[in-house]
Amino acid sequence: MRSNAVDSTEKGISDSRIGFVKDDVLSNVVLHTAVILINTCDEVFLRKIPGELSLNFLHLLKESWGIMHSWPTPWKCHQKQSFTFSNMRANDLAETIFRLSMNQDPYAICAVDVARRSIFGSTELEFENFIINHWEESPILLTKVSKNLEGDNIIFSLLADVFKSSTIGALLNSILRGLVSCPPINSDEMDILNFLKKVRDELGSPMLYEQDIRILKTVRSTSMSTHGPLKTEAHYPMKSMNSSNMERPEFTGIDLVRQCKKAYHEGYTVALRGVEFRWEEVAMITDRLAMLFGQPSVGANLYLTPARSQGLDRHFDDHCVFVCQLIGQKQWTVLPRGAGFLPRLYEPTCNLHCSESDDNIAGGKHFLLGEGDILYIPRGYPHEAHTLNNMDKSCIDETTELSLHLTLGIEVEPPFEWEGFAHIALHSWNLTQRRVTFNHLDSASQILSGDIVNLLHVAIRLIGNRDPVFRKACLVAASSLPSQGEGDNHIRAHALNQRTIFAHMINQIDAHSSFLEAFGTVKVAVYEKNDHSLQWMGWLRHLPQEEERIDFNDPLRFFEDLVLSYEGHINEACSAFMHVKSSFCRDVRFEDTRSSFERLLEKYRKTRKQFMKGMLSLHCTK
């Protein structure tokens, strides 16, 4: 069976059709039927497809996908050859490849210890020192770890050959060739097939500006501060291949490389997002790093900056970053973080923390990164970076002065902060209490207790707003322990530290949970119809639900009824709140919570890995 891909309408990917030569009509019908069946079945049926059959069919589909991408303009191909067309769109082919790949193992797996050594060095003590002294607290330059480990460093040894090129054109081609758009997946999405329904018309589409790639540089503005001219980010005026729809500017193939090369020579940085979905080597690194820190996933971006240039303006991130210098050098400045400032993921924060006019600008730390260096920057620290200002024009080749670095971003999502651990503890404790007291309490008492528990969730959130410990990453499920029986003392120290933090949280909840503050908060939300202020509760729906009166997708409706019920009965409600809070703080158990926490983490990881595997298969032409 031989396949080709064409576009009969020249309107973009949504109208692309996959065709086969005329003398293979039966194969065309079989393929079309198989694609329809696969794209409409559930996950149980997908898992029943025999492994060898699935792999063979997947290989055929990837051949078709590769042929389409091999054309100069794969999304706008002309009918210069004679084909028999099925009704299959390129999007349909992309979805089938995704579905057949999402439960496969596309990349090799290395031990978590290998990833740990690649960043922190060969001994467990070095990683423990990092966790105690720097994790989420202070930046640190991990110098030449890769050279000390010789060929054992998976980050630099795997990526060295991928991005080594003698010219900018060749380097950009190696980075951008065969890329497709990676549609964002909701952080709380637990059903991969539900996600596919939402993006069915986008899957496998050309690259989108802002979503997948940015071309930008930092320039001096006309505005002034006490420290001189302010700086601002300027974006390169990219010309979209779909000029009729500038709300979704698309780029692909040779044209993308050409525009990026031109922008690069004008001082712009090429910033590529979602690299872990595009290269198997990066996927393996991020997967192991997520296991190391006990998080669902780790993101990766790639930045190519020319000499004497700055890409992003000074900013801070809401996640921790490991900057891995792959090619060249880059000068970094990291400014002090405000006391107690530990931004939550995706929450709006004040940009004054990294203003040009900050008095603490002179207190910044400076780091010069060379090839093989890794810089750790905790979330909340303002930072900026630029390539060296070497005016020597006698360079051997045009890549001598550039910088290429990979960022590994550890995003601490709400369920996996320590505050999330506290919410899981409360939810699990409440389920246990409900089962134990089911035959001993009347229905009204059970309802009151359940309502109070949801108000206690709000009280915990308010404490988390004030106490940065609650916003720190919970490492209870971290796979960061020795793998060869060494370091029993380190294991005990790690476990003791987790229990110490848990005890601190319970003490804070016991001492500072306020009924009046929590009730006042939901009362304001109800009167202002501000459902946005309660959206943080949404992830709680992924915990076991047993006849819950609250819909965590719409908590405002529940609290509307609660406010009406409690108005005029504040004293009774306050007494019930104090009783539930005291019982929870007295009876909650770390191990019970840990089990629930790990089960939730595995649910998140399953969906993230399915998404990663599916997207990697759509980049099979790289």
DSSP string, 136-158: TT--EEETTHHHHTGGG-HHHHH
Q: How many CB atoms lie within 10 A of CB 515?
A: 22
- 86-116 confidence digits (pLDDT tens): 557 889 999 999 999 999 876 667 788 888 8
The pLDDT-based confidence of 22 (bands split at 50, 70, 90) is very low
Q: How many Cα atoms sit within 13 Å of 605 on the Cβ side?
A: 18
Please tell me the predicted confidence (pLDDT) of residue 556: 96
Compare 169 and 253 and report the one with higher pLDDT. Answer: 169
Q: Which amino acid is it at 35?
A: V
Residue 417 DSSP class = B
Residue 133 phi/psi, 5-degree rounding, is -105, -20
CA dist list (Å): 584 to 120, 319, 509: 39, 31, 10
Judged against a pLDDT cut of 90, whether residue 45 lies above it is answered with: yes
Range with the poorest average pLDDT among 62-76, 216-230, 379-393, 508-522: 62-76
Query: pLDDT category, 360, cuts 50, 70, 90?
Result: low
Look at the block and give the residue holding tokens 């008492």.
Answer: 445
Tell me if residue 331 falls in helix, strand or coil: strand
Pairing of strands 207-208, 383-386: unpaired
If pLDDT is split at 50, 70 and 90, which confidence band does 250 have? confident
Question: In the chain, pLDDT over 70 holds for what percent of residues?
Answer: 80
Give the pLDDT band (50/70/90) at residue 400: low
- Burial class of 206 by CB neighbour count within 10 A (0 to 12, 13 to 18, 19+): buried
Please give the residue that has the higher pLDDT: either 352 or 450. Answer: 450
Three-class secondary structure assignment of 270-316: EEECCHHHCCHHHHHHHHHHHHHHCCCCCEEEEEEECCCCCCCCCEC
pLDDT value, residue 77: 44
Element (H, E) at 220: strand 213-225
- Of 169-183, 336-350, 502-516, 565-579, the poorest mean pLDDT is in 336-350
Q: Residue holding tokens 């790093």?
A: 289
Q: What percentage of residues in the chain have a pLDDT greater than 90?
A: 60
pLDDT bucket at 496, cuts 50 / 70 / 90: confident
Per-residue pLDDT, 110:
77
How confident is residue 453, by pLDDT bands cut at 50, 70 and 90? very high
Q: Give the mean pLDDT of 337-361.
A: 71
Instruction: Give the pLDDT mean for 14-29.
Output: 58
d(Cα 104, Cα 511) in Å, to the nearest integer?
49
pLDDT digits (tens, 9 = 90+) for 128-183: 889 999 999 999 999 766 555 555 677 787 787 777 777 898 999 989 988 999 99
Compute the mean pLDDT over every residue in the chain, rounded to the nearest whole number: 84
- Give the number of other Cβ atoms within 10 Å of residue 107's Cβ: 17
Contact criterion met (CB below 8 Å) for 188 and 538: yes
How many Å apart are CA 304 and CA 215, to the nearest integer? 10
DSSP three-state, residue 522: helix
CB count in 10 Å sphere of residue 133: 10
User: How many Cα atoms are found within 13 Å in the side-chain-facing hemisphere of 258?
Assistant: 10
Band (pLDDT 50/70/90 cuts) for residue 63 is confident
pLDDT-derived band at 8 (thresholds 50, 70, 90) equals very low
Output the furthest CA–CA distance in the chain (Å, rounded): 86
Average pLDDT over residues 468-485: 79
Q: Is the pLDDT of residue 520 over 90?
A: yes
The tokens 């996908």 sit on which residue? 65
Q: Is residue 40 helix, strand or coil?
A: helix
Residue 53: HSE in the Cβ half-sphere, 13 Å Cα cutoff: 7
Distance separating alpha carbons of residues 532 and 508, to the nearest angstrom: 26
Residue 201's Cβ-count burial label (10 Å; 0-12, 13-18, 19+) is exposed
- DSSP-based three-state secondary structure for 391: coil
| Banded model confidence at residue 243, pLDDT cuts 50, 70, 90 | low
Mean pLDDT is highest, among 228-232, 257-261, 493-497, 606-610, for 606-610
Q: Mean pLDDT over residues 342-365, rounded?
A: 69
Confidence (pTM): 0.89
HSE-up of residue 99 (Cα within 13 Å, Cβ side) = 32
pLDDT of 591 strictly over 50: yes
Average pLDDT of 233-251?
75
Is-contact 142 373, C-beta < 8 A? Answer: yes
* 18 — pLDDT class (breaks 50, 70, 90): low
Q: Which candidate, 130, 429, 409, places its Cα nearest to that of 296?
A: 409
- The single residue listed with the structure tokens 């999502």 is 413
DSSP 371: T
Q: pLDDT value at position 275?
A: 96
Strand order in the sheet with 403-410: 140-142, 374-377, 320-328, 403-410, 299-305, 269-272, 213-225, 228-235
- Is the pLDDT score of 14 beyond 50? no
* Higher per-residue pLDDT: 314 or 482: 314
**Higher confidence at residue 541 or residue 124?**
541
Q: What are phi and psi of 409, to 5 degrees?
A: -105, 120
